[in-house]
Amino acid sequence: MDLPTIRAALCDHDHSKRLQALVALRHHSTADAEPILLTALKSDTFIIRSFACMGLGRKRTEAGFHALLERARQDKDPNVRAEAASALSWFGFDRCTSLLLQLFSQDDHWLVRHSILAALSECGDPDVQLQVVRQGLAGNDDTVRCCALELLGVLVGSPLEKEAETLLLAASHNDNPWIRRTAARTIGNFPGETARQRCLELRQDPDYRIVAASMESSLKLESGPEPDGAVDQGKG
């Protein structure tokens, strides 16, 4: 799709055509795409703004960075704020880690926090990861708390592995079955007798889903821990 066609499509009332036009910008130069993406970021339609955030993350310009930061802080729609936060991480964690932590502290919407947790799972800094996990666990949203627990899996093999395991063991006693299930599923990444013993104990849990998760973790421990954890989309 050439630039005149893209510009024309972005004026169409059909959202699907506008989205196709934004996606097509990936094949164009940063110089050509940037002004179009910045304009799309002002759309009244949240999904257009979200796609513009993705495009600006891929193109990575200075103007795009500041526009994304503004959207992450101020957009009225949490979908856009979440997409903007994710796109900021593409500019490099040396620049964005402190900003993402700040956004996490200031925005308690589960979608935004989930996006930031997923981004920081790739940052490679155990101190940062443990910090954001603790913040997530201190909140009241179960989806965020589960996502934070899953992030602890990336700390296996790091100097903070023991602290991560301690948090998981505590969570495995939580009254909330979603929290216990996530802890049971994640603890299988942690080698050692303590994790193994807790998995055996969780087989007696009254919730069959937690029993299944603990059995899965026991199998992991028998075959060896995975190299790093994963952040799921929600409670699963």
Per-residue pLDDT, 224: 59
**Pair of tokens at residue 228:** 């790093």
Residue 65 has pLDDT above 90, yes or no: yes
The identity of residue 201, as a single letter, is E
**Pair of tokens at residue 76:** 């009225």
Per-residue pLDDT, 136: 98
Residue 225 has pLDDT above 70, yes or no: no
User: What mean pLDDT comes out for the span 116-144?
Assistant: 97
Residue 229 has pLDDT above 70, yes or no: no
Q: What percent of the chain lies above the pLDDT cut of 70?
A: 94
Based on its alpha-carbon atoms, the radius of gyration of the chain, rounded to whole angstroms, reads: 21
The identity of residue 90, as a single letter, is W
* Count of alpha carbons within 13 angstroms of residue 62, beta-carbon side: 0
* Segment among 72-81, 166-175, 191-200 with least mean pLDDT: 191-200
Residue pair 107/75 in contact by the 8 Å Cβ criterion: no
Residue pair 221/202 in contact by the 8 Å Cβ criterion: no
Mean pLDDT, the chain, whole residue set: 92
- pLDDT-derived band of residue 207, with 50, 70 and 90 as boundaries? very high
Per-residue pLDDT, 236: 41
Distances (CA, A) of 195 to 50, 186, 187: 41, 10, 6
More confident residue, 117 or 18: 117
**Pair of tokens at residue 161:** 């592995």
User: What mean pLDDT comes out for the span 183-210?
Assistant: 93
Q: Which domains does the chain show, CATH number per domain? A: 1-91 (1.25.10.10), 129-236 (1.25.10.10)
Per-residue pLDDT, 1: 84
